[in-house]
């Protein structure tokens, strides 16, 4: 009898583990389907019927495993983690500056942001969807990324204490400009073509100039006091 109980337990365990693996595989299929649809049709293409077709599952499974399409999209965003390359490079940058959060540090942050956003089509689609207000989950993830960005601003903030220089406002203009120009790559902006190395270099040179100007102004104001 003891042997039979062990066999029954072992069988039930294998069956339970198999069910878990099947569920996880199905969830991966659904998340992968979201990524495929975004690449082909953008976030506008994320309709329930399309997700069913691409993933090869029924809509009940979507709701059973994720509760809603919005939750499924959020799972995709968090798994994809648009800023993972950016964050890793920022860790390297923080080590390289060795506590000096001056001009080179902030230029490095903005250049990495430019490069990551320029190459990450998924992230570009997420920003477009954020502007359209289609999925609340994207807004929630964006807010988390805002908190990450504020860490870098907080590191630089002591340099500007006691001055009238508003660094966050200048960085906001730079970030917004990066978003617009890259999302509008098919057209020139002020005659600049971001599809060429020359165009990218001109924008990065301008970013560096704006940041350097902020630090120089702050330094001058401190000297005048």
CB-count exposure of residue 211 (10 Å: 0-12, 13-18, 19+): buried
Average pLDDT over residues 135-160: 79
**Terminal Cα-to-Cα distance of the chain (whole angstroms):** 90
Confidence of residue 16 (pLDDT cuts 50, 70, 90): very low
Write out pLDDT tens, residues 107-118: 988 998 898 888
What proportion of the chain, given as a percentage, has pLDDT over 70? 84
Rounded Cα distance, 42 and 75, in Å: 16
**Residue-level pLDDT at 180:** 92
Q: Which residue has the higher pLDDT, 67 or 136?
A: 67
**Residue-level pLDDT at 38:** 82
Q: Is the pLDDT of residue 215 over 80?
A: yes
The owner of tokens 């059973």 is: 64
The owner of tokens 């198999």 is: 18
Q: Checking phi first, is residue 42 left (phi over 0); if not, alpha (psi -120 to 50) or beta?
A: left
3-state SS, residue 5: helix
Write out pLDDT tens, residues 166-189: 999 999 999 999 999 998 888 888
Q: Which residues are within 8 A (CB) of 149 and not within 5 positions of it... i.e. 6 or more apart?
A: 175
Confidence of residue 11 (pLDDT cuts 50, 70, 90): low
Backbone angles phi, psi at 114, to 5 degrees: -60, -50
Out of 8-22, 101-115, 150-164, least confident range:
8-22
**Residue-level pLDDT at 96:** 77
pTM of the model: 0.70
The mean predicted confidence, pLDDT, of the chain is 82
Residues facing residue 189 across a β-bridge:
192
Write out pLDDT tens, residues 21-35: 788 889 889 988 988
Complete DSSP assignment for 70-123: HHHHHHHHHHH-TTHHHHHHHHHHHHHHTT--SHHHHHHHHHHHHHHHHH-HHH
């Amino acid at each position: 009898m003891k042997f039979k109980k062990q066999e029954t337990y072992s069988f039930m365990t294998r069956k339970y583990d198999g069910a878990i693996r099947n569920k996880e595989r199905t969830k991966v299929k659904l998340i992968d389907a979201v990524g495929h649809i975004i690449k082909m049709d953008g976030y506008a293409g994320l309709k329930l019927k399309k997700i069913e077709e691409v993933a090869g599952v029924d809509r009940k499974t979507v709701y059973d495993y994720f509760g809603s399409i919005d939750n499924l999209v959020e799972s995709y965003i968090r798994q994809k983690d648009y800023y993972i390359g950016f964050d890793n490079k920022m860790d390297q940058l923080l080590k390289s500056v060795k506590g000096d959060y001056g001009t080179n540090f902030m230029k490095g942050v903005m250049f990495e942001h430019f490069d990551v956003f320029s190459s990450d089509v998924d992230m570009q689609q997420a920003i477009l969807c954020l502007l359209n207000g289609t999925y609340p989950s994207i807004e929630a993830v964006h807010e988390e990324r805002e908190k990450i960005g504020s860490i870098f601003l907080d590191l630089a903030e002591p340099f500007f204490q006691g001055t009238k220089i508003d660094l966050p406002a200048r960085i906001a203009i730079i970030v917004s400009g990066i978003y617009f120009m890259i999302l509008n790559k098919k057209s020139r902006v002020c005659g600049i073509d971001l599809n060429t190395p020359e165009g990218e270099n001109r924008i990065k040179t301008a970013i560096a100039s704006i940041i350097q100007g902020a630090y120089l102004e702050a330094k001058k104001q401190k000297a005048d006091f």
